[in-house]
């Protein structure tokens, strides 16, 4: 890709200094103080002091392929990612069929060629995610899997989990754990507590998550294996991880924007768009989430982007599937709910969406320096916008944030130097940006 782009007058996400950046051949060619002389061939983007940062990375998305392309496709999910400022995503294997062999990893990588975001497949831990027979970790890694997970269908047998952790030590792959004891979840539909009682819905106790977090911490201690905890949602889980880290265990954890933004009160109108798993918890858990982000118990952010068709979500509450989309609201919810109230600096918030998830999965580094891949996002942390699910690039419209006014959004995204997203107006208001269309890997 020999496309050349000049980004002028952006603010460096770390130093805050105004910079001009040249992208050429898919990489950052140079970064210099704004206003320095440069050639003017190729596209020019006047950044008008918007922040330039490495592209966001989401290590927990559901792209629904193979098998459920009415909910999302690799292509539509990648377009949603680009619109949200993301340049890389890792996709979960709980598809139909399950991504549990090297053939499906190769299929996904082929499917992801030319889409608007880098796609890193995650492979199942057990065949068919049935929780019994382990998959071929070594050949899955060789085929390009970046992690292992039975997300959506957590491994109930401690013995199977022990063997998985031991086997995974022969690879560099972490096991991404969706922590849930299915016997404690039972027929639960939402967080157990006063709101569930008021609505007459069956509850899911915090313990459904915490007993599994504690089990797997014990198994990490036993095996020396490597675990990353997905979408942690409650006080007890954060406490257990905090304590484990203090004891020197090498574990990592993520949480998602909905857990620092909403509580189970969001379900008061039986809104299936707020039905998710783990469920939205209490105000106390929401506070604990923000505390765990602040003190480093949480290593990175992720969206758990889980698109469903409206038809599926319009079913009666107890039959509607769990999950919400997240790629196109993640940055706005981060800035609105964490940065604006002063819980987190913008720089730290961006770290948790960029360098931190790359570290968790061992993905190559992206720095705002010459010769690094031009995987970049130009973002306006002050832009106010209204969430309109009808305008999502994702096929999923299932969000509880429709109609919300958020602060902060991605103005433009480049993946491997290719422009993958630009808000209308940025190129039009006398600013000369030429959209390069799709095609990045
Ligand atoms: Zn999950």
430 domain-assigned: no
Residue 56 pLDDT > 50 = yes
68 domain-assigned: yes
Give the whole-angstrom CA distance, residue 57 versus residue 216: 25
The rounded Å distance from CA 134 to ligand 1 centre is 19
Establish whether 271 is a catalytic residue: no
The rounded Å distance from CA 153 to ligand 1 centre is 8
185 domain-assigned: yes
Q: How many domains does the chain have?
A: 1
The rounded Å distance from CA 270 to ligand 1 centre is 21
Domain containing 91 — which CATH number? 3.20.20.140
Tens of pLDDT along 143-199? Answer: 999 999 999 999 999 999 999 999 999 999 999 999 999 999 999 999 999 999 999
Find out whether 43 and 1 touch, Cβ atoms under 8 Å: no
Average pLDDT value for residue range 245-272: 96
Range of the domain at 289: 55-361
395 domain-assigned: no
379 domain-assigned: no
Strands (E), 205-326: 227-229, 251-255, 300-301
pLDDT at 36: 78
The rounded Å distance from CA 53 to ligand 1 centre is 28
Please pick, among 58, 151, 304, 375, the residue that the annotation labels catalytic: 304
The rounded Å distance from CA 151 to ligand 1 centre is 5
8 domain-assigned: no
Q: How far apart are the first and last CA of the chain?
A: 10
The rounded Å distance from CA 323 to ligand 1 centre is 9
Give the whole-angstrom CA distance, residue 259 versus residue 252: 17
Find out whether 189 and 275 touch, Cβ atoms under 8 Å: yes
Q: What is the 3-state secondary structure (H, E, C) of 224-249?
A: CCCEEECCCCCHHHHHHHHHHHHCCC
What global pTM score does this model have?
0.95
115 domain-assigned: yes
204 domain-assigned: yes
Residue 436 pLDDT > 90 = no
């Amino acid at each position: 890709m020999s496309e050349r782009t000049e980004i002028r007058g952006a603010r460096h996400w770390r130093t805050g200094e105004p910079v001009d950046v040249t992208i050429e051949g898919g990489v950052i060619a140079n970064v210099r103080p704004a206003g320095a002389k440069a050639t003017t061939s190729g596209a020019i983007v006047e950044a008008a002091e918007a922040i330039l940062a490495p592209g966001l990375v989401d290590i927990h998305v559901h792209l629904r392929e193979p098998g459920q392309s009415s909910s999302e496709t690799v292509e539509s999910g990648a377009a949603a990612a680009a619109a949200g400022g993301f340049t890389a995503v890792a996709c979960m294997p709980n598809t139909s069929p399950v991504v549990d062999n090297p053939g499906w990893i190769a299929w996904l990588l082929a499917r992801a060629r030319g889409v608007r975001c880098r796609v890193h497949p995650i492979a199942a831990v057990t065949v068919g995610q049935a929780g019994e027979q382990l998959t071929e970790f070594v050949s899955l890694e060789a085929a390009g899997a970046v992690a292992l997970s039975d997300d959506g269908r957590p491994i109930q047998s401690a013995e199977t989990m022990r063997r998985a952790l031991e086997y995974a030590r022969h690879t560099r792959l972490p096991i991404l754990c969706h922590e849930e004891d299915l016997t404690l979840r039972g027929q639960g539909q939402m967080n157990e507590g006063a709101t569930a009682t008021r609505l007459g819905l069956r509850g899911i106790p915090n313990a459904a998550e915490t007993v599994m977090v504690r089990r797997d911490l014990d198994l990490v201690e036993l095996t020396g294996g490597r675990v990353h905890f997905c979408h942690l949602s409650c006080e007890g889980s954060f406490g257990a991880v905090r304590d484990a880290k203090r004891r020197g265990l090498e574990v990592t954890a993520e949480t998602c924007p909905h857990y620092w933004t909403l509580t189970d009160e969001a379900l008061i109108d039986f809104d299936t768009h707020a039905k998710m798993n783990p469920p939205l918890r209490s105000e106390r858990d929401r506070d604990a989430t923000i505390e765990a982000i602040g003190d480093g118990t949480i290593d990175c952010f992720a969206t758990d982007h889980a698109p469903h068709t409206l038809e599926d979500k319009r079913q009666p509450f107890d039959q509607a599937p769990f999950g919400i989309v997240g790629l196109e609201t993640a940055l706005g919810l981060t800035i609105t709910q964490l940065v604006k109230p002063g819980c987190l600096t913008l720089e730290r918030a961006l770290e948790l969406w960029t360098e931190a998830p790359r570290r968790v999965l061992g993905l190559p580094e992206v720095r705002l320096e010459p010769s690094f891949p031009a995987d970049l996002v130009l973002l306006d942390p002050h832009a106010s916008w209204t969430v309109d699910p009808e305008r999502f690039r994702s096929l999923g419209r299932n969000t509880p944030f429709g109609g919300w006014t958020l602060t902060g959004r991605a103005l433009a995204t480049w993946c491997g130097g290719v422009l993958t997203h630009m808000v209308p107006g940025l190129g039009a208001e006398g600013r000369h940006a030429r959209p390069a269309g799709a095609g990045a890997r």
